[in-house]
Amino acid sequence: MSVALITGGSRGIGKATSILLAQQGYKVVINYRHDKPAAQQTASLITQAGGTALIIQADIADEQQVMAMFAEIDQHFGPVTALVNNAGILFQQSTIENLTAERINQVFATNVTGYFLCCREAVKRMAYRYGGAGGAIVNVSSAAARLGSPGEYVDYAASKGAIDTLTTGLSVEVAAQGIRVNGVRPGFIYTDMHASGGEAGRVDRVKNKLPMQRGGEPEEVAEAIAWLLSNKASYITGSFIDAAGGK
Ligand code: NAP
């Protein structure tokens, strides 16, 4: 049976993805960093519906914790066959004058280094050259990679630009190893993330300026992620789906 790791699977887009993948028959690993009750609640929704879920606390920015997480999955379910690199952070909206090195490094440690580390551990388990059976990786980027988030969080946007480059490069590097690597770029999605930027109502503020005149739901992003992981996308790698209402 397929084993999917969803980083940041406890809330928002990761939660919707965890639930959808469980419905599709994956054994689901819900990673989280701080909020154990949220992870437990998501796991309960899955198990109550007859699915299989495991929660693992790990900070993806920490190499040892990432390695321990993958080892725990090996023990519990067998090696990961699908990775959704989803856990991401941003901080208070700000222009560049107020961005400190500490903040920029924190954003990049989770949004970039964390994605790299999880890709590395997944490739070690999926690649034919390590005896793996192949697999699929979806990196959750952002429309911010294209738009740059001026006046809000250029540091966050730049971290997502790095993820698009990771997706392009890794997809070619591991294509002959049976691993597909694709990206999904959400736009303005109703989750708690916007509160981290100091504006919980951000999606409603901008929604009328979007071509589709509305924000997106986490479930709409999860559908794109699940499709890219599935065999229906078997000839697709190094590609991106924008889930941004036309922006
Ligand atoms: P969210 O609601 O804020 O949830 C973030 C999740 O990531 C939580 O499960 C959180 O766990 C986890 N997390 C954060 N830092 C972590 C770390 N270092 N290690 C492990 N887990 C960590 O976020 P979201 O809005 O669903 O966003 C999910 C992804 O979509 C992110 O990559 C984000 O950049 C991207 N995205 C979102 C939007 C949007 O409008 N919402 C738009 C474009 C792109 P804890 O709660 O335990 O800390």
> pLDDT tier at 124 (50, 70, 90 boundaries)?
very high
What is the number of structural domains in the chain? 1
| pTM, full prediction | 0.99
What pLDDT, in 10s, does the model give residues 161-209?
999 999 999 999 999 999 999 999 999 999 999 999 999 999 999 999 9
216, 145, 170, 67 alpha-carbon torsion, rounded to 10°: -70
Domain containing residue 139: 3-243
HEC states along 8-36? CCCCHHHHHHHHHHHHCCCEEEEEECCCH
- Respond yes or no: is residue 156 known to be catalytic: yes
Q: How far out from the chain centre does Cα 237 lie?
A: 16
Residue with CA at minimum distance from ligand 1 atom 9: 8
Q: Is the pLDDT of residue 1 over 90?
A: no
Does any ligand 1 atom lie closer than 6 A to the CB of residue 14?
yes
CATH of the domain at 54: 3.40.50.720
Residue whose C-alpha is closest to residue 162's, from 112, 88, 117? 112
Query: 162, 112 in Cβ contact below 8 A?
Result: yes
Q: Is the pLDDT of residue 76 over 90?
A: yes
